[in-house]
Structure 1
Amino acid sequence: MRTASIRLDVTEEQSSQLSALQVAYADACNRLVPVVCEERLWNRVGLHNKTYTQLREQTPLGSQMCCNAIYSVCKAYKAQKELGRVRKDKDVPKIRFNCASVHFDKRTYTLRDNLIYLYTLSGRITVPLIFGEHQRKILAFGIPKEAELVLRKGRWFFNLVVEKTDPPLSISCETMGIDVGENTLAAHSLGKLFGGEKLRDKRDRHLSLRRRLQSNGSQSAKQKLRQVSGKENRRVKQVNHETSKAIVAAAKEANIGTIVMEDLTHIRDRIKAGKRVRARLHRWAWRQLQTFVEYKAQATGIQVKYVNPAYSSQTCSCCGCIGKRNKHRFECPHCGLLAHSDLNASRNLAGINGTAVPLRVSVNAPDVESQTLTLQ
């Protein structure tokens, strides 16, 4: 699945019609929240049977849009449950849908060439689409599915999900391991390191700027905050796209059949550090980078696996014994291996899957301290 974010070339009248639809859609979603919380019900069929008639009577939405509102609420609560925010021993948290995106399916939109026909409260409207080269490539090799209508900074976008047929999987047995981090953004077992110092410095600068503007509280400070809003996230996303693209290109060139990455589920809950370090680590986009690598690798026929990363940073990738790690330096006291700690971890991840890509140079370093010299 790929998503093409397509800008809509709407008139003022069409924009007001879409705004009215967005308000009514958010209102319908908010009417469903109390039912979900009281009944602990986020099954789509069950919630439909319980609330569909109510939505049709109390909102101006059509029949299919009521179904889509039910779908959006169920999807939101399932996501909250996956994140561990919905617990059996506590009340279901209430979600507020403010300016919510509007979910469209094949019954509520029609795509023809460079035009799209969208459902609104006052009937269907015809809107021209503004395509870029990236969007055209996605639509050219896939089947349009569901979509989300969103409003960003006064512009309407149609985020269309496109289903693409998977390419044949690679038959190669070679494996690449990828270790992600903060100081080193990513390291793969072929020997490439992607530094994260520049990105970390930029993020720290953005954080410092936001703190100064928020503590100021003046009108000009609020205006500046709106100007820089989202700039940090866009920068991180761009760097992650560039890094993932380079990683997948290297894997394809080396005829890699499987990419192995760390399973970092609930890693933020396990971070034990001071407030300043926690704030920095919690803002880091490890999972986003892994997701970019995953879908780009799958698009080229490379499989992606996630493994338990326990002791991968402390184990020697040469002899398998526990070594010593000091920041970026890894040293094995048993075989004498000296390597970058993240590079060593990536090779361990590749070895977990079975067949690791061999090092360019294999060195057997003896344990000199354990040997004795006999003088004759």
Structure 2
Amino acid sequence: MSQTITIKIKLLATKEQSSILYEMSQTYISTINTLVSEMVKEKKSTKKSSKDIHIPLPSAVKNQAIKDAKSVFKKAKKNKYEVVPNLKKPVCIWNNQNYSFDSTHISVPIMVGGKVKKTPIRALLIDKDNRNLELIKHNKLGTLRITKKSGKWIAQISITLPTIEKTGTKIMGVDLGLKVPAVAVTDDGNVRFFENGRQNKFKKRVFRSKRKILGKKKKINTIRTLDDKEQRWMKDQDHKVSRAIINVAKENNISVIRLEQLANIRETTRNSRKNEKNLHTWSFYRLSQFIEYKAKLEGIKLNM
């Protein structure tokens, strides 16, 4: 068994490197869109190679663009060309044989002065417990995807991890909610509560209050920045809760986690006016996904 995860890294690119990455990313998605358009018109997959595509990109990146274009075409063909995706978000992808990462720099072939040059770009791996760094050091790296998000360049490295499913019958049930974000109960009666729902709701009220004030002042861009900040905070909370749940499961030698059915959460959570806004903005699904992939890495089975 194996599982593929993605590790995100902030790139601290220079002004020149940022400009090059932007040009390459635009060329990359433009190439994919052009190839897909050609394939849709001819109703068959392209036989072009990197030598047939005359664009300022390294050969390996051209090959990746062809591969991605074929994947997009395959999806368009499957739905009988009713929907043909047109990529817009700047992105560029390298396979694992064309880059390296040494914890402080990602060295990747880019176009410098019209020529391909493997260039180190400063990188910041946000890794509080060094877990991601250990995963990168001891596992084979997959594709590298560089994209721009909220004005910043982000590198995404895929890693395929081997997993060994635990044997045994010990079970832990996990319920998700608002008053208490998560409650875990082992089959021998041990109960653990995770995070403080009141603090979370207070934090969200603060965000809503600030948005209301900014809305009256018509500061749209500031509101968007605040929204991004809130989403990052919520995601961080979900990571902390999911990690704590898995740690408890490991401590109790749990082999199976039974997670509450997500479809029932909104029915079982008390739908008062106080809870209503939080209920419809908190992502129970994301938390369940975090629990699932972290459980799988430890060989713990998840039942939903």
- Equivalent of 1:2 in 1, 5, 10: 5
For residue 120 of structure 1, the aligned residue among 110, 115, 124 is 110
Aligned residue for 1:160? Answer: 157
Q: Which has the higher strand share?
A: 2
Aligned to 2:301: 303
Query: Gaps spanning 5+ residues in structure 1: where?
Result: 82-86, 307-376
Cα 1:114–1:58, aligned 2, differ >3 Å: closer, same or farther? Answer: same
- % of aligned pairs identical? 24
Choose the corresponding residue for 2:137, options 115, 137, 140: 140
1:24 alignment partner AA: T
Q: CA deviation at 1:149?
A: 0.7
Partner Cα distance (1:211, 1:89) in 2: 46
Would the alpha carbon gap of residues 61 and 19 (structure 1) be closer, same or farther in structure 2, given more than 3 Å must change? Answer: same
The alignment status of 1:210 with 2:211, answered yes or no, reads yes
Alignment correspondent of 2:169? 173
How far residue 281 of structure 1 moved from its aligned partner, in angstroms, is 4.2
> Does 2:179 match 1:189?
no
Over 3 Å counting, the alpha-carbon distance change for 1:208 and 1:74 in structure 2 is farther
- In the superposition, relative to structure 1, how do residues 90 and 19 fare at CA in structure 2: closer, same or farther (>3 Å)? closer
Q: How far apart are residue 198 of structure 1 and its match? A: 2.9
Q: Which structure has the greater CA radius of gyration? A: 1
Deviations 1:202-257 (A, max 9, x none): 3344345435535643xxx1452354241111111111111112211221222211
1:26 matched residue in structure 2: 29
Rate the CA distance shift 1:15–1:248 in 2: closer, same or farther, 3 A. Answer: same
Alignment-derived partner of residue 201 in structure 2 = 200
CA 55–189 in structure 1, closer or farther in 2 if over 3 Å, else same = farther
Residues 267 and 180 (structure 1), Cα distance of their counterparts in 2 relative to 1, 3 Å cut: closer
- Report the TM-score, using the length of structure 2 for normalisation: 0.73
**Offset of 1:264 from its aligned partner?**
3.9
Match of 2:288 among 287, 290, 303: 290
Is the aligned partner of 1:14 residue 2:36? no
> Which of 213, 222, 225 lines up with 1:224 in the alignment?
222
Deviation per CA, 1:141-192, whole angstroms, max 9, x where unpaired?
A: 21111121123455433221222332x4322211112222334422222323
Any conservation in 1 of the 2:98–2:109 contact (CA below 8 Å)?
A: yes
Q: Is the 8 A contact 2:36 2:73 kept in 1?
A: no
Shift of 1:60: 3.7
Do the aligned partners of residues 235 and 111 (structure 1) sit closer, same or farther apart at CA in structure 2, a change above 3 Å counting? closer
Distance of aligned partners of 1:124 and 1:89 in 2 relative to their CA distance in 1, 3 Å threshold:
closer
Secondary structure of residue in 1 paired with 2:147? strand
Structure 2 unmatched ranges of 5 or more: none
Alignment: residue pair count:
285
